[in-house]
Amino acid sequence: MNANLPASNPAETGATLVEVTHDAYGVRGLVCLTLNRPEAFNALSEALLDVLQADLAALAETDARVVVIAGAGRAFCAGHDLKEMRAAPSLAYYQALFARCSKLMMTIQRLPQPVIARVHGVATAAGCQLVAMCDLAVAAETARFAVSGVNLGLFCSTPAVPLSRNVSRKAALEMLLTGEFIDAYEAQQRGLVNRVAPLEELDAAVASLAASICAKPAEAVRAGKELFYRQLEMGVEAAYQLAGQTMACNMMDESALEGVQAFIDKRAPDWPR
């Protein structure tokens, strides 16, 4: 498999809407996708949705180990492009737009590689949804989060899906009904982000988390991510059946056999290449 995914160059103002960086933060196997509409606070225009969708789909076929989604400029992501949405007010258009966004969110969950959100600034509405859909999230102390569509008369229904699967029901509904911002530490307390760091230490915090994952056998990580999301939608008995089968197959993998033998031998594992 080839990890050399080319950067995307769509037609929108001739700009590169998603900057693709390989071996990001000095971590081998880490690919960073940076939303690059800083003048629009990285709002998810139709073009940006399409580019990000294509880049993620392409990464699924590579030997990349971890993916980071970041934002250029002052914001992580301000949600949907409201000017673009207001310019085409029809039910069919809005249905297609939200279906396109939902497809992107599910692509993140189905990606074989873990996806980390690097949040340095505001993440609102669909931007907060993007954070919630990423497998992990690292935020700077300067980050703020809101599902603020209700302030415009538009309840954040699609952001509610991953938000309610990250934080408690009452905490999620409070955010959705009030549209109020929470800071990075409150987001961490509620379960929306994993780690919080000073802004000047954010890259190091992302690199540390990514490097820890990259150091693990790729097959175990990929199988584990798939199992994690599948079992969440099952009853307990069915989840145990699936988990047991997954562990049995995992145990037959060369990496697992080496890892267990290394533990028995009291030595560091020599993972198969």
pLDDT tens digit sequence for 100-122: 999 999 999 999 999 999 999 99
pTM, two decimals, is 0.90
What is the reported pLDDT for 6?
Answer: 39
Q: Is the pLDDT of residue 47 over 80?
A: yes
Rounded Cα gap, residues 272 and 202, in angstroms: 32
Count of beta carbons in the 10 Å neighbourhood of residue 235: 9
Nearest residue to 203 (alpha-carbon basis) of 116, 135, 112, 108: 116
The token pair at 231 is 């079992």
Asked if residues 13 and 200 have their Cβ atoms less than 8 Å apart, the reply is no
The type of residue at 61 is E
Q: What is the DSSP letter of 28?
A: T
Rounded Cα gap, residues 16 and 84, in angstroms: 19
Q: Is the pLDDT of residue 235 over 80?
A: yes
Rounded Cα gap, residues 247 and 244, in angstroms: 5
What is the reported pLDDT for 15?
Answer: 66
- Using the structure block, give the residue that is written with the tokens 């989840």: 239
The token pair at 122 is 């505001």
Q: Is the pLDDT of residue 215 over 80?
A: yes
Q: What is the DSSP letter of 150?
A: G
Tell me the pLDDT of the chain averaged across its residues: 91
- Which architecture characterizes domain 218-265 according to CATH? Orthogonal Bundle (1.10)
CATH, domain 12-214, list 3.40.30.10, 3.30.565.10, 3.90.226.10, 3.30.360.10: 3.90.226.10
Asked if residues 51 and 19 have their Cβ atoms less than 8 Å apart, the reply is no
What is the reported pLDDT for 272?
Answer: 74
Average of per-residue pLDDT across 232-242 = 87
Q: Is the pLDDT of residue 13 over 80?
A: no
- Using the structure block, give the residue that is written with the tokens 């988390």: 209
Average of per-residue pLDDT across 16-36 = 95
Nearest residue to 217 (alpha-carbon basis) of 253, 172, 170, 247: 253
Rounded Cα gap, residues 59 and 3, in angstroms: 7
Nearest residue to 63 (alpha-carbon basis) of 221, 235, 174: 221
Identify each DSSP E strand in 131-238 by its residue range: 136-140, 144-146, 182-183, 195-197
Average of per-residue pLDDT across 51-71 = 96
What is the reported pLDDT for 11?
Answer: 42
Domain range list for the chain: 12-214, 218-265
pLDDT in tens, 131-184: 999 999 999 999 999 999 999 999 999 999 999 999 999 999 999 999 999 999
Which pLDDT band holds residue 7 (cuts at 50, 70, 90)?
Answer: very low
